[in-house]
Amino acid sequence: MRQVLISKLGSLEGVDALDVATGTGDLAILLAKEGARVRGEDLSEQMLALAREKNDLSHLDIHFHLGDASRPIGEWDVITIGWGLRNIPDVGGTIKRHSEALKQGGVWGCLDLAQPENIVLRFLLRIWLALLPVLARLKGAPPDSYLYLGKSIQSFPRLSALSSAMERAGLEVLHAQPLFLPGLILLVGKKR
Ligand SMILES: C[S@@+](CC[C@H](N)C(=O)[O-])C[C@H]1O[C@@H](n2cnc3c(N)ncnc32)[C@H](O)[C@@H]1O
């Protein structure tokens, strides 16, 4: 999935890329492997520590730092966010601030989970999300993260609304599409 996003970002050789909500750095690592100079940011020091370990093992030169994904600082050729936007309350404002932190012609890429536009698929996803915490309980696992997942997807804008938010933020929408797994979406925009 991350590789699909990477393949839609254009040439990454020598570009300055910021991966926000980087988690353990998997998307940042793929960007660096394509030749980008990468900074990865996250709110969690624990995640960043794991990301730095992966960076060392991969012999890459990614810089991982604390940073708030809703307010990126600097000027970038590429900004990416994988499964992070849904966790930020002000989605439209965040996309706008990401756009403002891009150089003209810079590219913004996002992977996340959203409710499908199709009513039948939306219904099926809703059932699956309702089942997940039940299955977790049956397996003795805490259901909380699955409950959060369901709630966060329900309150996250759908693809069409995200696409409009990108336009309002000054991004030309290059891709706004569902991917193969239910609910998984890909967004790519170019700063006008
Ligand atoms: C699902 S993980 C990220 C996955 C990662 N991008 C990847 O491709 O594997 C979500 C991450 O977002 C981080 N996060 C949540 N809210 C954030 C915020 N406002 N600023 C920065 N990081 C945030 C969490 O700490 C967590 O590491």
Residues 6+ apart with CB under 8 A from 32: 38, 58, 60, 61, 62
Say whether pLDDT at 64 is over 90. Answer: yes
pLDDT in tens, 112-170: 999 998 899 888 988 988 898 889 888 888 888 888 888 999 999 999 999 999 999 99
Q: What confidence score (pLDDT) does residue 182 get? A: 78
3-class secondary structure per residue, 19-44: EECCCCCHHHHHHHHCCCEEEEEECC
Average pLDDT over residues 74-91: 97
Q: What confidence score (pLDDT) does residue 105 get? A: 97
Q: How far is CA 124 from CA 1, 103, 129, in A?
A: 21, 40, 9
CA of 48 to the centre of ligand 1 (A): 10
Mutate to test the pocket of ligand 1, among 19, 42, 111, 146 (most ligand atoms within 8 A of CB): 42
Amino acid occupying residue 133:
P
Of all protein residues, the one whose alpha carbon is nearest to atom 9 of ligand 1 is 26
pLDDT in tens, 6-30: 999 999 999 999 999 999 999 999 9
Average pLDDT over residues 50-62: 95
Mutate to test the pocket of ligand 1, among 41, 62, 83 (most ligand atoms within 8 A of CB): 83
- Residues whose beta carbon lies within 6 Å of some atom of ligand 1: 2, 20-23, 26-27, 42-44, 47, 68-70, 82-84, 87-88
4 CB burial (10 A radius; 0-12, 13-18, 19+): middle
Q: What confidence score (pLDDT) does residue 161 get? A: 97
